[in-house]
Amino acid sequence: MSVDPLGRIASTDRLLVALDFDGTLSPLVDEPMSARMLPVSRAALDALLATRDTIVALVSGRSLSDLRIIAEHDDASQVLLAGSHGAEYWLPGEGRLELDDDPADVALRDTLRTHALEATRGMAGIWIEPKTFGFGVHTRGADAATAAAANTAVDAIVQAEAPHWRRRAGHSIVEYAFRHEGKDTGVATLRERTGATAVLFAGDDTTDEDALESLGAGDLGVHVGEGPSAASVLVADIPAMAALLTRLAAERTAAQE
């Protein structure tokens, strides 16, 4: 007899629901800072937040400051945040956890951003996104040839000037950073901070696979869209993800009665 994985985590003592933002709760858009959570996604998160012993977190590659803007997240929010793939955190009652980075890393970050901007200047549809620990090269608005040229040019810059940096490729973006944390770090840190007895993590991109692969036997991984993925559950799209979260909130409430 098969066991319903959603029902299994619904009954855990203390549940952490950790979610990617772009492509999981919000549609992918050409202008990254215009991304906003779909109403059905917001309603699903509100239902989970109203459920006892349930913690909701966003785990994103976005810089923490940008994540707070697109998630419409204020200081009264009960949603935990892990930005920059698990290198930055915001916690209710504590706020932003301060970081202590080497000034040399920050200076190199600024230099490489400038070089990337210079190398891609005039390339239609290319946008260099500043990030706390590096930068991203967005190619969603470019044709295939221009995107390839931009990625090749910036790859060469980073390989020559900072070969120790971490490179991540996602949906129409390549990110470079001097911090090497992945979303697996974000999930592990939030699990420890909250004392969660089980975790549901959901994402849609290759950058989410670190977290999905790190989950234990008592956890649940969900992938939004087509595979392949290390997730044990696949849902078709963002509304389907919202429906799964809404169902989880209902099952968890019932299990606690």
| DSSP run (H or E) holding 119 | helix 103-120
Residues 12 and 95 in one domain: yes
For residues 17-29, give the mean pLDDT: 97
- pTM (2 decimals)? 0.85
Tell whether the model's pLDDT for residue 181 goes beyond 70: yes
Residues 208 and 86 in one domain: yes
Residues 95 and 187 in one domain: yes
Tell whether the model's pLDDT for residue 144 goes beyond 90: yes
Instruction: Decide which of 148, 177, 206 is a domain's last residue.
Output: 177
CA distance 137 to 20: 19
For residues 38-43, give the mean pLDDT: 98
How many structural domains are present in the chain? 2
β-strand pairing of 233-235 with 220-224: parallel
Structural domain for 155, as ranges: 103-177
Confidence of residue 1 (pLDDT cuts 50, 70, 90): very low
- Return the structure tokens found at 164: 């120790």
Residues 116 and 164 in one domain: yes
Residues 119 and 226 in one domain: no
Tell whether the model's pLDDT for residue 83 goes beyond 70: yes
How far is Cα of residue 13 from the mean position of the Cα atoms in its chain?
A: 25
Confidence of residue 100 (pLDDT cuts 50, 70, 90): confident
User: 3-class DSSP state for residue 66?
Assistant: helix
Q: What is the pLDDT of residue 3?
A: 56
Burial of 69 (0-12, 13-18, 19+ CB in 10 A): middle
Residues 194 and 72 in one domain: yes
Higher-scoring residue by pLDDT: 166, 5: 166
For residues 126-145, give the mean pLDDT: 94
Scan for tokens 């390989």, then name that residue.
159
Residues 49 and 172 in one domain: no
β-strand pairing of 233-235 with 15-19: unpaired
Residues 204 and 239 in one domain: yes
Q: Residue 55 half-sphere exposure, CB side, CA atoms within 13 Å?
A: 25
23 dihedral zone (left: phi>0; alpha: psi -120 to 50; beta): left
| DSSP run (H or E) holding 65 | helix 64-70
The percentage of the chain sitting over the pLDDT mark of 70, rounded to a whole number, equals 99
CA distance 81 to 64: 8
Q: What is the pLDDT of residue 30?
A: 86
Residues 126 and 94 in one domain: no
How far is Cα of residue 55 from the mean position of the Cα atoms in its chain?
A: 16
Instruction: Decide which of 177, 195, 230 is a domain's last residue.
Output: 177
For residues 124-136, give the mean pLDDT: 94
For residues 159-167, give the mean pLDDT: 96
Residues 125 and 246 in one domain: no
For residues 196-225, give the mean pLDDT: 96
Residues 151 and 192 in one domain: no
Residues 69 and 107 in one domain: no
Instruction: Decide which of 113, 145, 177 is a domain's last residue.
Output: 177
How far is Cα of residue 117 from the mean position of the Cα atoms in its chain?
A: 25
Tell whether the model's pLDDT for residue 70 goes beyond 50: yes
- 46-66 pLDDT, tens digit each: 999 999 999 999 999 999 999
Write the CATH number for 228.
Answer: 3.40.50.1000
Report the chain's mean pLDDT, rounded to a whole number: 94
Confidence of residue 257 (pLDDT cuts 50, 70, 90): confident
State residue 200 phi and psi, 5-degree precision: -105, 125
